[in-house]
Chains A and B, each alone.
Chain A
């Protein structure tokens, strides 16, 4: 895992050349720049050299076929990779399913520009990252295995989904943007703790303990 101080490396899996080129440009423009070690249209690129060495895998869910690439996602998660699902799909079921399988986070391509680099940095450091689309999915989740959320957490999720601005959410709810972030992070950790055993879960929970986001008692 590429920890603090080390250069972050990424493998990009997307069957659309324009999407690959765009993401590569965003990563190159990041500060410090993020190194794209491999990019390809097929998930294989992420488990063969040099792609297998990257800290973070950005995976498009819609690879050559009508079915989402859940099997590829599962394989990468089982290999202990930090996977950011990056997709055209908007619906909450896809988001929740990806999180269930053990994706680090779920990002729609519509929100890519603002969030892809930040999510990749967060993934490299094992810190939770909950973009608006995922927050919306958490906010209306009615699956029986969902974690218990407080009223406030629920509110923050929905407001964040609606306005995509932590400042606006903070003003609306009369809290600071920092508090908004910590609510979002806590929700993500709650999802990690009820989720499947995977390295993503262990990393997220360990880091949250370390950062004081949650206490031992919360587990």
Chain B
């Protein structure tokens, strides 16, 4: 799984959580409007002066609820552009309802809009910064207070009653807003955790892969390199002996090729072959190299099998060699011909690559062929 996928998954988790909260709040708002507010509105219909602003306010709240429901059904969220409109409609409803409420300096059941407005505020604003919801609730409260103080200053008991109502209703709604914020934070953390987990997994896999690759290369070197180094170290092999020199040259070329394997180049086969040639040239062998055909990249194992015999051959060459690389549509061939007298060291292992050897009096020729199809 890539980082992108992890992000998408985490975003999906977050969206699902928020969508659940929105639907719950909408359900609460609709329930409050029709099971609590509507009966009060009907019961007190004769006390409003006049009645029609109350009806308009009720309708406006219903419009906000229906609009929100439509957005939630379509995309799971209320678009940012629609929110100011919803807030304005809700505040307009509050103003209309408060303006035509029965006179009196305290909140009573006829002020059905008071609690309902808060729910709309939560519905529209809970996933934004908390100050938006607080401002909305504050505005509602101000409109309500204005209606109450208009006839004259209420007494202390009326203030206290109103404070109790405001704190219990709006405090609860504000707390809900906080809760929604908590949910949002959880979703962000879930996303971060998923990304982190993914990153660690990728790192582990990469390290594992690199380690396996190192081990494979090390294992490939062990059977021939270790006896050579040990022999040189304990003095049982004479560095002046031509055979020891040839073996050393061959091992040097193999190591050089394995280093080249981890390089990131557009044409790895050519790159690895040139690494081997370079070692021979450093030994003083004049190598003429020619390549034909369009670059193609066989798998790493095949490249090793193609180059290894050529590398061994070059280690045995005395002074000059010709190395070629041919890449036809159906096969890849690597060949080396040079003045090597002795090629007994060349190891032949069965593999996907065909190896041909030929020795004449003064020259040796090795050719490796891989049929690509």
A-side residues, CB < 8 A to B, are 90, 92, 108, 110, 132-133, 136-137, 139-140, 142, 158-159, 161-165, 167-168, 171-172
Contact = CB atoms under 8 A, between A and B. Distances in A.
B290 to A, nearest CB: 6
Contact of B324 (A136, A137, A142, A165): A136
Nearest to B291: A90
Contact of A167 (B292, B293, B294, B360): B360
Contact of B358 (A132, A139, A158, A168): A168
Q: Is the interface of B mostly helix, strand, loop or mixed?
A: strand
Contact of B292 (A140, A159, A163, A168): A140
B47 to A, nearest CB: 96
Nearest to A168: B365
Contacts, number: 62
A43 B327 CA distance: 35
Nearest to A133: B290
**Most-contacted residue by chain B among A137, A161, A167, A171 (CB, 10 A):** A161
B360 A164 contact: no
A162 B363 contact: no
20 contacts: A92-B292, A136-B292, A136-B326, A137-B292, A139-B326, A140-B326, A140-B327, A142-B294, A161-B324, A161-B326, A162-B322, A162-B333, A162-B365, A162-B367, A163-B367, A164-B322, A167-B360, A168-B337, A168-B358, A168-B363
A97 to B, nearest CB: 15
Interface of B: 288, 290-294, 322, 324, 326-329, 333, 335, 337, 356, 358, 360, 363, 365, 367
A162 B367 CA distance: 8
Contacts of A171: 358, 360
Contacts of B294: 140, 142
Contacts of B291: 90
B371 to A, nearest CB: 13
B326 A90 contact: no
A158 B326 contact: yes
Contacts of B292: 92, 136-137, 139-140, 161
Contacts of A159: 367
Contacts of B363: 165, 168
A140 B329 CA distance: 8
A29 B329 CA distance: 42
B320 to A, nearest CB: 12
A194 to B, nearest CB: 19
A110 B322 CA distance: 11
Given A168-B363, A172-B358, A163 B293 contact: no
